[in-house]
């Protein structure tokens, strides 16, 4: 296996963890939301994250690697914190959305750093384009969660 493949696999596996964290975060948060439209939005985004994970895993396999299958420790800690904080704040939709936005901030940072590193390291075009395409989706998720949070905040 080439060093470029090893670097690509490592970077993609990190993004698998990030995307798994997002999937689990959207699934867990949907359980706490009261608004049915928000629940549906979060369920759709959990599915989109799962699709992103599968795409990343497929690319890792194509590069000759073993894809990551779980989320990160920090993601688990964040979800536990969200659950605790939501319990204390009464699990209001605004409180849930605040915490989900924090999680999306983390995902956006991870994808931006991965895209920058992939370009800097001259990783294969298919790896760079996959990361950049998923970065665009992550940015969209972040912006939508922030917009929903702001709408819920104004309505309360």
Rounded to whole angstroms, the Cα distance separating 74 from 88 reads 21
Task: Tell me the domains of the chain and their CATH numbers.
Answer: 3-155 (1.20.1260.10)
Overall size of the chain counted in residues: 156
Closest CA to 59 of 126, 107, 113: 126
Enter the pTM of the model: 0.86
Q: Judge whether 63 and 8 are in contact, CB under 8 Å.
A: yes
96-152, pLDDT tens digit by residue?
888 888 889 999 999 999 999 999 999 999 999 999 999 999 999 999 999 999 998
């Amino acid at each position: 296996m080439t060093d470029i493949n090893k670097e690509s696999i490592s970077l993609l596996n990190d993004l698998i963890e990030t995307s798994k964290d997002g999937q689990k975060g959207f699934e867990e948060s949907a359980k706490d939301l009261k608004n049915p439209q928000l629940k549906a939005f979060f369920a759709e985004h959990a599915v989109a994250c799962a699709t992103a994970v599968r795409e990343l895993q497929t690319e890792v396999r194509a590069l000759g690697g073993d894809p990551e299958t779980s989320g990160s420790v920090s993601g688990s800690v964040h979800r536990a914190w969200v659950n605790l904080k939501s319990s204390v704040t009464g699990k209001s939709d605004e409180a849930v959305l605040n915490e989900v936005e924090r999680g999306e901030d983390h995902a956006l940072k991870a994808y931006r750093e991965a895209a920058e590193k992939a370009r800097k390291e001259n990783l294969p075009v298919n790896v760079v384009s996959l990361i950049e395409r998923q970065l665009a989706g992550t940015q969209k998720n972040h912006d939508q969660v922030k917009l929903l949070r702001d709408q819920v905040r104004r309505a309360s």
